[in-house]
Amino acid sequence: RPLFCASVLDHVTLHVAQLAEIKQQTTSSELSAFCCLFVRCCKTKRPLVMQAPIILLKEGTDTSQGKPQIISNINACEVVVDAVSSTLGPRGLDKLIVDGHGEWRSIYHGAVRQQGKTTISNDGATIMKLLDIVHPAAKTLVDISLSQDAEVGDGTTSVVLLAGEILKCCKTFVEDNVHPQILVRGLRKVALLSIARIKEIAVHVKREDVKEMDDLLKKCAATALSSKVIARQKDFFSQMVVDAVRHLDELLPLNMIGIKKVKGGSLEESRLIDGVGFKKTFSYAGFEMQRKKYTQPKIALLNIELELKAEKENAELRIDNVEEYQKVVDAEWAILYDKLEKIVDSGAKVVLSKLPIGDVATQYFADRDVFCAGRVPDDDLRRTIQACGGAIQTSVSSLSDTVLGTCQLFQEEQIGGDRFNIFTGCPEAKTCTIILRGGAEQFIEETERSLHDAIMIVRRTIKNDAIVAGGGAIEMELSKYLRDYSKTVAGKEQLIIAAVAEAMEVIPRQLCDNAGFDSMNILNRLRQKHAEGGKWFGVDIMNEDVADNFDACVWEPAMVKINAITGATEAAALILSVDETIKNPKSGANDPPPALPGRGRGRPM
């Protein structure tokens, strides 16, 4: 208080010892406390001026920082890893994810209550995407999983597991006050060493030998598929995937492989079509009279409605006798017939349109031996153009050969409960379509995702033909290599590299755990094999044993592993170098309201 301050400051000239004496003699407790403070200040030579706190952040801002923050981030990542670890490998289990979000939204907007969408999946990237993680640090793991998916297509669970395990082993170092930068440097070194080692031991096959290459591609696809729902049909599907990718041109554009799903039938009834295929959406009267098969037809691709307009349109006509009305009707027919005539004259044998092709037009075409299909979805029409050539026309006035597409064979076929228009032998682009059959919708969707993984793997392997053995073999080899290397360096780096070496063992360990094997026993035997120089020894999932997985043909592209290790170490380094999270009170504003709105807020009665 100013009064007390003043009375103390009177004594400023006094010796500190004297001041201490005053402190003891005075009866006022506040004065005594102030003297105390003053004496301490004089002793430490700190100025007595008290600084007002500097306000930098808005009130309500939540900051947490330092070591506890790093550890809490690591803990969050461990929880995410727990969520996906049980899906790894051929014996991994699937996850069923219900999207409750859709349900909530529909109630909120007063619409019909919808059932949330359910997804059954084994794919790391899909699960991570659907988990809707909000923790800022744990989101990094989602990102690396998605980037692995985009980059190589497979290994999306492995990358998350590796990152989590690396972070776990770094946690002890953080707790022991090792500076995060030292850890980050160690991790970078580990990534470089591992990649160099993979490149060193990866096996290359002769690209020129088409049969050998196809064999290799099939095996890589089979390994990717062996951990999916369609594992039992992996030979069937790996052949299909390799054939599909072989259909493409050098750039291997992914969108040239169409995947169509037809419910019903068995998985083995799925088939690969060398060309474009799409579902017929609508049939008009007269359609059954049309021919369903043409060789080398000309194909007209239109965006024109070929239908008689009903009178409901908004034009108003005043007519006072029947003849006038007849003229109007005749004119409309004349316009339509004119269009139809031009199309038929152009020589097109197959007419596709984005817009409806009505009864009259269908019968007209049927009489003149022309096939037609209306309401073709946009993306299917686009794929047809890219495959068969031609261009979409919005008028019939210039239907020349240059805008008409063509193909070797067109036919309409019944597949399951749907009719498919199928174009094969397409001249322009190399395309193919996979038609998937199967029971439940979720099952077909997961099959599609699995095929996507396998297709990506095959594309990758064609571009980069180095392969390594899977089933934990390459991870065990890296672990041994890093452990040996760590003995040649000194200091903290040695401990970090040795710890990451141990973290690499998470993949074989999890493969064993998911299969219900005794992981300790198997890992010990694997370590022994690798120490003896058996670099491709990994887990034998079929026989609860260890086996040379290169001989067992569990092959994976080296790119999958290189990408996974880079992604995992980068993510771990990123999480370790964040030591402060600042949460702005506003950042929660986008969160959905916690409860349903009450009365009077637009809810329907």
* Residues near 435 by beta carbon (within 8 Å), at least 6 away in sequence: 260, 261, 262, 270, 271, 272, 273, 277, 415, 420
Binds 556, which of ligand ADP, Mg ion, none (CB < 5 to 8 A, cut-off by type)? ligand ADP
Q: How far is the CB of 450 from ligand ADP (least distance, A)?
A: 9
Q: How far is the CB of 601 from ligand ADP (least distance, A)?
A: 44
Residue ranges in contact with ligand ADP by CB under 6 A = 87-90, 92, 122, 124, 154-158, 223, 226-227, 470-471, 507, 511, 539, 541, 554, 556
Neighbours of 393 (CB within 10 A): 19
Binds 554, which of Mg ion, ligand ADP, none (CB < 5 to 8 A, cut-off by type)? ligand ADP
* Residues near 402 by beta carbon (within 8 Å), at least 6 away in sequence: none
Nearer to ligand ADP, 500 or 546 (CB): 546
Contact stretch for Mg ion (CB under 5 A) within 34-42, 153-161, 286-294, 409-417:
153-161
**Residue 436 near residue 456 (C-beta atoms within 8 A):** no
Nearer to ligand ADP, 158 or 421 (CB): 158
575 class by beta-carbon count within 10 Å (0-12 exposed, 13-18 middle, 19+ buried): buried
Q: How far is the CB of 475 from ligand ADP (least distance, A)?
A: 8
Q: What is the DSSP letter of 306?
A: B
Q: Site residues for Mg ion, window 208-247 (CB under 5 A)?
A: 227
Residue in 195, 186, 192, 194 with CA at minimum distance from that of residue 167:
186
Contact stretch for Mg ion (CB under 5 A) within 149-157, 262-270, 315-323, 325-333:
149-157
Which contiguous run of DSSP H or E holds residue 312? none
| 3-class DSSP state of 412 | strand
Q: How far is the CB of 140 from ligand ADP (least distance, A)?
A: 17
**Residue 376 near residue 279 (C-beta atoms within 8 A):** no
Q: How far is the CB of 156 from Mg ion (least distance, A)?
A: 7
Nearer to ligand ADP, 25 or 543 (CB): 543
Nearer to Mg ion, 90 or 438 (CB): 90
| CB closest to ligand ADP, residue no | 470
Q: How far is the CB of 150 from Mg ion (least distance, A)?
A: 15
Interface with Mg ion: number of residues (CB under 5 A): 2
Q: How far is the CB of 197 from ligand ADP (least distance, A)?
A: 17
Q: How far is the CB of 153 from ligand ADP (least distance, A)?
A: 9
Binds 570, which of Mg ion, ligand ADP, none (CB < 5 to 8 A, cut-off by type)? none
| CB closest to Mg ion, residue no | 154
Distance, CA of 290 to chain centre: 43
Nearer to Mg ion, 155 or 286 (CB): 155
Which spans in 132-247 are helix H? 139-151, 156-175, 180-201, 210-225, 234-247
3-state secondary structure 551-562: CCCCEEEHHHHH
| 3-class DSSP state of 347 | coil
Binds 373, which of Mg ion, ligand ADP, none (CB < 5 to 8 A, cut-off by type)? none
| Degrees to nearest 5, angle at CA 13 with 8 and 15 | 95
Nearer to ligand ADP, 389 or 471 (CB): 471
Nearer to ligand ADP, 458 or 511 (CB): 511
What is the rounded CA–CA span in Å between residue 233 and residue 540? 19
Q: What is the DSSP letter of 3?
A: H
Binds 92, which of ligand ADP, Mg ion, none (CB < 5 to 8 A, cut-off by type)? ligand ADP
Nearer to ligand ADP, 156 or 386 (CB): 156
Q: How far is the CB of 434 from Mg ion (least distance, A)?
A: 19
**Residue 106 near residue 113 (C-beta atoms within 8 A):** yes
Binds 471, which of Mg ion, ligand ADP, none (CB < 5 to 8 A, cut-off by type)? ligand ADP
What is the rounded CA–CA span in Å between residue 33 and residue 40? 11
Instruction: List 538's β-bridge partners, or say none.
Output: 547
Nearer to ligand ADP, 226 or 362 (CB): 226
Q: How far is the CB of 444 from ligand ADP (least distance, A)?
A: 19
Residue in 541, 459, 121 with CA at minimum distance from that of residue 257:
459
Instruction: List 99's β-bridge partners, or say none.
Output: 117
Which amino acid, one-letter code, is at 34?
A: F
What is the rounded CA–CA span in Å between residue 468 and residue 490? 31
What is the rounded CA–CA span in Å between residue 87 and residue 475? 18
Q: How far is the CB of 520 from ligand ADP (least distance, A)?
A: 18
What is the rounded CA–CA span in Å between residue 567 and residue 359? 58
446 binds Mg ion (CB under 5 A): no
Nearer to Mg ion, 149 or 154 (CB): 154
Binds 297, which of Mg ion, ligand ADP, none (CB < 5 to 8 A, cut-off by type)? none
What is the rounded CA–CA span in Å between residue 299 and residue 347? 9
Nearer to ligand ADP, 85 or 424 (CB): 85
154 binds Mg ion (CB under 5 A): yes
- What residue ranges bind Mg ion (CB under 5 A)? 154, 227
